[in-house]
Amino acid sequence: MRALVIGEALIDIVERDGQPVREHVGGSPLNVAVGLARLGRDVDFLTHIGTDERGRRIADYVESSGAQLVSDSMTASRTATARALLDASGSATYSFDIDWQLSGTPEVAPPLIVHTGSIAAVLEPGCLATEALVSAYHLSATVTFDPNIRTALIDDPDTARARIDHLLERADVVKASSEDLHWLDPTRTPEQIAGEWLTLAPKIVVVTFGGEGSLAMCANGTVRVPAGHVDVVDTVGAGDAFMTGLIDALWSMDLLGADRRGALADISTDALTGAVRAATVVSALTVARPGADLPDRVTVDRAAVSDILG
């Protein structure tokens, strides 16, 4: 009954006009690992960080959340950074300094769910190991995937698209932003791309549209959920928080694990709506405070869903 999250961990260096520079622990997969742990889930996190001051800060952050840092995760020569430049609306533009590598099979209990995405899915050489691990765990675990494309790190778009396609072939649940889908194929609408993905391996495909809400597709139909009504401080980690809430909701519905693939594939539109609403609440609570500071279970349970979603 554990989750295994595979992917990058880094320090977000956040800059905004007229405000002091701030540093936050970040990285899309790290945010999901920490977010799930804060919601009371058992999580192992496999990453690649250094033993420098920033690496130790990340390790402390992960473990203080309740997640377990997988052994051999602290082997990098330096810890990665992402410089996030925020505009007036709180939206972030990123630049990166990262070396992504993995080696060997993590010494963890067989996971119920494996999550990956973002830089870990496309950046060599670690993306090759990420894909191999996902393929191996797919036999026994639900696979969730968020492309979370970082164009600043992509030199060869065709190769990146092919790597994303390979992971889609093994994924059970996929969440992508409309911006991700436009980058992948600007000639088609997000709905068209999501519909095609649903004919492949995924049982659920969710597309987020920022302030315009989200749509989710399953075999039984398509649902739409509005965005949360909160005062946005910044959008750092918004998509990761959404992914966290979605995984947590499906976990609570007993729809995770390879032996539950049939039930996941047959999820009703009512149940899917409930899962997406739960994901939206977690995301809304995150963007209402600075940095990718995902909420814990107490905060989520106390949130007035009617106030957030109307």
The string of pLDDT tens digits covering residues 185-212 is: 999 999 999 999 999 999 999 999 998 9
Q: Model's pTM, two decimal places?
A: 0.94
Dihedral through CA 237, CA 240, CA 287, CA 228, nearest 10? Answer: 160
Strand order across the 92-97 sheet: 22-26, 10-15, 81-86, 92-97
| Residue linked to tokens 């009512």 | 270
Spans of all domains in the chain:
3-297
Give strand pairing partners of 239.
Answer: none
- For residues 36 and 203, what is the distance between their CA atoms, to the nearest angstrom? 21
State percent of the chain over pLDDT 70: 99
Cβ atoms 65, 208 nearer than 8 A: no
Q: What is the DSSP string of 174-189?
A: EEEEHHHHHHH-TTS-
Q: With left for phi above 0 and alpha for psi between -120 and 50, is residue 176 left, alpha or beta?
A: beta
Residue type, 11: I
- For residues 308 and 245, what is the distance between their CA atoms, to the nearest angstrom? 14
Cβ atoms 83, 11 nearer than 8 A: no
**Sites in the chain below the pLDDT cut of 70:** 90, 304, 310
3-297: what fold?
UDP-N-acetylmuramoyl-L-alanine:D-glutamate ligase (3.40.1190)
Cis status of the peptide bond prior to 147, with omega within 30 of 0 = no
Q: Which of 168, 202, 164, 200 is nearest to 183 (CA)?
A: 164
Q: Which of 223, 194, 224, 229 is nearest to 211 (CA)?
A: 229
Sequence-distant (6+) residues with CB within 8 A of 306 are none
Cβ atoms 271, 263 nearer than 8 A: no
Q: Which of 156, 27, 1, 154 is nearest to 80 (CA)?
A: 27
Judging by DSSP bridges, how do beta strands 22-26 and 81-86 pair with one another?
A: unpaired
Cβ atoms 109, 132 nearer than 8 A: no
Sequence-distant (6+) residues with CB within 8 A of 301 are none
Q: What is the pLDDT of residue 90?
A: 67
Angle at 147 between CA 142 and CA 152, to 5 degrees: 155
